[in-house]
């Protein structure tokens, strides 16, 4: 693949922009033999993309046919490209991730599901439409773990109702938690395998309690990296992706 095509596929702009970055000396490619970054001024130079690492304007990037990342969503952000009130989570990502070309009308990585503006925690983003569908489909029952701070102490009857199922106002079919653990008097760990609008908040309201704080700590078998601070992101490894898909 030509180097300008590599950069274009990774979201660094149009082919002309990518060629300009290369010709101006802003792009270095890591050599397979010595592991060192070498400046390449030839936009049409051919490289095998798999395993390719390169540096653009001082920032290292791996070649990824599809991008898979995890973001620690902070409070006060919206999971929307066009937010209504709060800043978009997409402003936390570097431009190449937001500009990766796609066949669809949208560009860049997209959130796999959404979290409310005041909810924090684990959010996956990718430009792999099949992965988004697989992770979001209720048929696949991907478990998601939430750390819930509640207003009133949780009792056994509330936990029993959450596990057996509660009826929300817009759906006659009961929704239930896959697991429910009282971590502390005002701290509940709730596992869900479906994602309805404001589901955790509405489920707790249905049993006579109220959510004061909500944080998603795990998706599938992958927990939030403990060293990933709010607002930070990182690439998902092949092992991470396998863990995420664990039901």
Check if the beta carbon of residue 6 is closer than 8 Å to that of residue 52.
yes
- Asked if residues 230 and 120 have their Cβ atoms less than 8 Å apart, the reply is yes
Cα 122 to Cα 44, 80, 206: the distances in Å are: 39, 16, 25
116 is known as an active-site residue = yes
Say which residues have a Cβ less than 8 Å from residue 199's Cβ, sequence separation at least 6.
168, 175, 192
- The residue from 116, 127, 170, 240 that is catalytic is 116
CB 3 within 8 A of CB 47: yes
Q: Which residues contact 218 (CB under 8 A, 6 or more apart)?
A: 122, 143, 144, 145, 224
Q: Which residues are annotated as catalytic? A: 116
């Amino acid at each position: 693949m030509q180097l300008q095509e590599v950069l274009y596929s990774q979201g660094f702009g149009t082919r002309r922009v990518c060629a300009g970055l290369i010709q101006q000396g802003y792009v270095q490619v890591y050599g397979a033999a010595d592991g060192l970054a070498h400046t390449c001024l030839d936009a049409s130079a051919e490289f095998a993309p798999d395993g390719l690492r390169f540096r653009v304007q001082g920032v290292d990037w791996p070649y990824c046919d599809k991008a898979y990342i995890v973001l620690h969503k902070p409070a006060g952000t919206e999971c929307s490209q066009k937010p209504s009130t709060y800043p978009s989570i997409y402003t936390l990502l570097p431009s190449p991730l937001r500009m990766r070309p796609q066949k669809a009308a949208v560009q860049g990585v997209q959130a796999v599901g959404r979290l409310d503006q005041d909810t924090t925690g684990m959010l996956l983003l990718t430009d792999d439409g099949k992965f988004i569908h697989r992770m979001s489909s209720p048929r696949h029952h991907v478990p998601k773990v939430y750390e819930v701070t509640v207003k009133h102490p949780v009792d056994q009857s509330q936990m029993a109702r959450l596990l057996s199922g509660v009826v929300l106002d817009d759906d006659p079919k009961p929704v239930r938690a896959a697991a429910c653990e009282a971590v502390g008097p005002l701290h509940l760990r709730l596992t869900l395998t479906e994602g309805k609008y404001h589901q955790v908040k509405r489920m707790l309201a249905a049993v006579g309690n109220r959510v004061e704080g909500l944080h998603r700590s795990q998706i599938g078998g992958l927990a939030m990296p403990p060293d990933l601070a709010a607002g930070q992101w990182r690439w998902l490894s092949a092992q991470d992706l396998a863990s995420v898909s664990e039901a």
